Structure 1
């Protein structure tokens, strides 16, 4: 059985850091090979070139133009790459905001994902307070965050906390003050049987 693990959440929550911290323990505990597919790593340079050509701003990842024309192809390519690895018997960790897909429950739809029942599916929603996320975004000095920071009031309106039906089946992880106990509990949750 292969694993497909999503680390989703808004910017500044620490999705990539958590995924990198857990990939080794997941491989040891399952005895499986895992690959890490981070949306920014896979598509960051491509998006920079495309947005630079379209708008003159290679760091734009949040404007309406980007969201309308590049977001979907990036996510579809990310999922296509995950599916190819799963078909080869390699488990996958996917890192990306995927907030719309969580809200619309698409990540729970195996048909939409293109994966069978032989894939163990886990979806982690990583969250922290808006203030903590904002401070982390400022501290990391990533040029891709410039649009978010310049349009914070607009960006913050897209932030949501899964609740009700959107929260069902999600593994919620508060990454405000990360601890070893918290990471161990998350690892246990990812490994337990459905």
Structure 2
């Protein structure tokens, strides 16, 4: 059985770092190979070139123009790549904000994703406080964050905290200062039912 695991959340929450930390133990715990598909790695260079041509600013990754014309094709390519791997028997750990898709619960729609009932599906929402996220974005110094930081009040309006029915089956993970026990608990939930006892999980990197 293959697994499709999403690590979603706003910028600065540490999605990619968390995914890289857990993918090795996840492969061991599930006894299946995984590929890591990060939206920025797959499409960052293409989007930079496209925005440079359209606006003269290759780092313009959050403007209305980008969101209207490039956002959805990027995500569709990300999901198509994940599906190709699943069809080859390789599980996929997909990293990207995907906030709209979480809010609209598209990531739980197997028909929309194009996957069958034989794929184990998990969606993790990685979060931290707005202040902590802002600090991390500033500290990492990524040019792609320039638009966010210059228009923070506008950007922050797009940040939301899943609640109510949106949270059904959504695995919430506070990535502010997680402990080893927190990582182990998340890994157990991602692997599936019945839960894997933390003591039986492969060792996590420190």
Give the TM-score normalised by structure 1: 0.99
| Alpha-carbon shift at residue 165 of structure 1 (Å) | 1.1
Q: Which runs of 5+ in 1 are unaligned?
A: none
Q: Deviations over 1:43-88 (max 9, x none)?
A: 0000000000000000011000000000000000000000000000
1:46 equivalent in structure 2: 46
Q: Matched residues in 1 for 2:14 and 2:179: separation? A: 13
Q: Matched residues in 1 for 2:132 and 2:105: separation? A: 26
- SS of 2:102's partner is helix
1:25 equivalent in structure 2: 25
| Alpha-carbon shift at residue 156 of structure 1 (Å) | 0.2
Q: Deviations over 1:101-135 (max 9, x none)?
A: 00001000000000000000000000000000000
2:10 equivalent in structure 1: 10
1:71 equivalent in structure 2: 71
Q: Matched residues in 1 for 2:9 and 2:128: separation? A: 9
2:149 equivalent in structure 1: 149
Q: How many residue pairs get matched?
A: 194
1:35 equivalent in structure 2: 35
| Alpha-carbon shift at residue 192 of structure 1 (Å) | 2.4
Q: What value does the CA root-mean-square deviation take over the aligned residues?
A: 0.7
Q: Matched residues in 2 for 1:39 and 1:79: separation? A: 10
| Alpha-carbon shift at residue 169 of structure 1 (Å) | 0.8
2:184 equivalent in structure 1: 184
Q: Which runs of 5+ in 2 are unaligned?
A: 195-206
Q: Matched residues in 2 for 1:115 and 1:61: separation? A: 29
| Alpha-carbon shift at residue 178 of structure 1 (Å) | 2.1
Q: Deviations over 1:158-186 (max 9, x none)?
A: 00000011111100000011221111111
Give the TM-score normalised by structure 2: 0.93
1:123 equivalent in structure 2: 123
The runs of 4+ residues in structure 1 deviating greater than 3 Å are none
Q: Matched residues in 1 for 2:73 and 2:175: separation? A: 29
| Alpha-carbon shift at residue 13 of structure 1 (Å) | 0.1
